[in-house]
Amino acid sequence: MKKLLASAFILTLAFSAFGKDSDNVAKTRKEVEAALPNYSVSIVTGPSAFHYYQALCGKSMLYKMEGALNQIKYVDIAADKHYDLDPETKTGTVFNYTLPLSFDGNIANLLFVSDFYKDKMVKTGSEKIIGRDATVYTAKLDPKNKKEEIKFWIDNEYGFILKSVQTGSRNKTMEVTAFKAGGVTEKDCAFDLKDYKLTQGGGD
């Protein structure tokens, strides 16, 4: 079971991100992660109000999702454990191994989804999002309906999405509300487990 879960998680690293830097060189998700040894990022999505937070501190990782479904994942490398937690019931499962410290699946789906539209994306401008330089790309989803499109604001330095807006039959938004690269310490990742009732997860 351990090997199966680890393999499944690693497979999520395989897809690449379309983000471009100032030299218009495509960056993969692996390259972005390599450039961010520690970071914190906060994201909000709509129309349903989901809030995401993830901090990577080198020795630990904290991931939170708040909305209709609340989730917390905490990874402690020093103890070789990771925790899947339910903040509403104050219960969780602890596993005696750690997953690769990288962008969580939900975070990655938001920050790197532009890869799936790269063949349709056209540069349409540049703006600042949370004070960061971003290149704007527009992808037409239906050539017969101009309203069916999605826009991406892609960070020039790291190549991930800072903002996306989809209009037409499906109206969705995503925006990074805070981002910090470097200087993220264990305090940013710390999580108090004392109020949680934990059960042991499966092994190999």
What's the whole-model pTM score? Answer: 0.81
CA–CA gap between residue 72 and residue 94 (Å, rounded): 12
Mean pLDDT of 180-202: 90
Mean pLDDT of 10-18: 32
- Can you say whether residue 182 is alpha, beta or left, with left for phi > 0 and alpha for psi between -120 and 50 degrees? left
Please give the residue that has the higher pLDDT: either 187 or 162: 162
pLDDT tens column, 44-91: 998 888 999 999 987 889 999 998 789 999 999 888 999 999 999 999
Environment class of 57 (CB within 10 Å of its CB; exposed 0-12, middle 13-18, buried 19+): buried
Domain ranges for the chain, please list them.
2-200
CATH topology for 2-200 is outer membrane lipoprotein receptor (LolB), chain A (2.50.20)
CA 126 to chain centre: 22
Average per-residue pLDDT in the chain? 83
The residue to which tokens 């790269």 are assigned:
118
Indicate whether 126 pLDDT > 90. Answer: yes
